[in-house]
């Protein structure tokens, strides 16, 4: 059995994926903007991920913009029958690389068609509607209006399944009144666990939880406990963090991203790591784990 297969599988609607997937955000240029520094390396990462058994890729057409999806198409099209590509809408990039909301009906519809065109598919497996508003009222309005649009596109056959990103439990509940939600993508990792209760509720309902920034995002996860466990199981701290997430809940799907073949292989190997009960208790309990800025003290 390949190490990736040890992560198990989970059902996304009528699609079954391995629980350790791949996030394609870092394949474009610095700041997720412009072309990659090494296009051949980006293509190689995608091809090796799928060759290793990854069948869940997370992306968006605003990565680049357009570039990451075009790379996926160049590297992998025609796609394997079991490959599930999840994309998200609600954001666009300005000419200067700025990240801007794109939440009007026309912008959401255009984003779906951009993803279809650049990925080279007739239907998108899963589209996540991303909440870009800190204000709960505006966020709620976006969920209501955006999911209504996505549900209509689903009826047209352009979208297979629908998910939500960067949302509160109340927004998820409201969204589920409009359409079926197969996955929720929020920030969660060893240092940021505010969604603990939500994860368990979603698991009971058979809805996947997909943590973004599983390894800290703009920072790196650090603690003496994490380092100790890594030495104990002869792994990197990043691999331990991923292994802990896989253990955390059966509905947890991971999409660690990288543009490095070395890091890709390390991430995939995390699926084969077994953490002792004592290590799980230490990591899940009161261990102080921080996310520190990369390069910081």
- Return the active site residues: 63
* Mean pLDDT on 32-55: 97
Six-digit token string for 263: 């890091």
Checking if the pLDDT of 282 tops 60, the result is: yes
Report the pLDDT value the prediction gives residue 293, as an integer from 0 to 100: 53
Query: How does strand 9-12 pair with strand 15-18?
Result: antiparallel
Six-digit token string for 135: 């204000």
Report the pLDDT value the prediction gives residue 68, as an integer from 0 to 100: 98
Mean pLDDT taken over the chain: 93
- pLDDT band (50, 70, 90) for residue 221: confident
pTM: 0.94
Q: What span, in angstroms and rounded, lies between the C-alpha atoms of 161 and 144?
A: 16
First to last CA, the chain: 40
**pLDDT tens digits along 189-210:** 998 999 999 999 999 999 999 9
**pLDDT tens digits along 143-189:** 999 999 999 999 999 999 999 999 999 999 999 999 999 999 999 99
The partner residues of 108 in beta bridges, in order of sequence, read none
Report the pLDDT value the prediction gives residue 2, as an integer from 0 to 100: 73
DSSP 190-222: TTB-TTHHHHHHHHHTT-EEEEESTT-TTEEEE
* Mean pLDDT on 104-129: 98
């Amino acid at each position: 059995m390949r190490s990736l297969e040890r992560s198990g599988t989970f059902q996304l609607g009528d699609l079954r994926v391995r629980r350790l997937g791949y996030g394609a955000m870092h394949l474009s240029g610095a700041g997720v903007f412009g072309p990659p520094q090494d296009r051949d390396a980006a293509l190689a990462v995608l091809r090796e991920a799928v060759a290793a058994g990854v069948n869940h890729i997370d992306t968006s057409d605003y990565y680049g913009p357009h570039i990451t999806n075009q790379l996926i198409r160049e590297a992998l099209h025609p796609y394997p029958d079991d490959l599930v590509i999840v994309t998200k809408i609600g954001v666009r990039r300005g000419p200067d690389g700025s990240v801007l909301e794109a939440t009007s009906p026309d912008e959401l519809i255009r984003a779906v068609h951009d993803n279809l065109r650049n990925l080279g598919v007739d239907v998108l497996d899963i589209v996540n509607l991303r909440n870009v508003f800190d204000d709960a009222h505006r966020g709620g309005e976006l969920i209501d209006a955006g999911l209504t649009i996505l549900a209509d596109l689903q009826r047209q056959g352009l979208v297979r399944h629908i998910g939500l990103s960067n949302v509160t439990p109340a927004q998820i509940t409201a969204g589920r009144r409009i359409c079926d939600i197969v996955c929720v993508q929020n920030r969660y990792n060893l240092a940021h666990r505010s969604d603990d209760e939500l994860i368990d509720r979603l698991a009971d309902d058979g809805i996947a939880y997909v943590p973004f920034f599983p390894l800290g995002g703009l920072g790196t996860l650090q603690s003496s406990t994490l380092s100790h466990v890594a030495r104990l199981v002869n792994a990197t701290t990043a691999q331990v963090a991923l292994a802990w997430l896989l253990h955390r809940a059966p509905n947890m799907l991971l999409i660690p991203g990288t543009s490095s073949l070395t890091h890709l292989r390390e991430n995939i190997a995390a699926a084969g790591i077994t953490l002792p009960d004592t290590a799980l208790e230490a990591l899940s309990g009161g261990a102080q784990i921080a996310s520190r800025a990369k390069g910081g003290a």
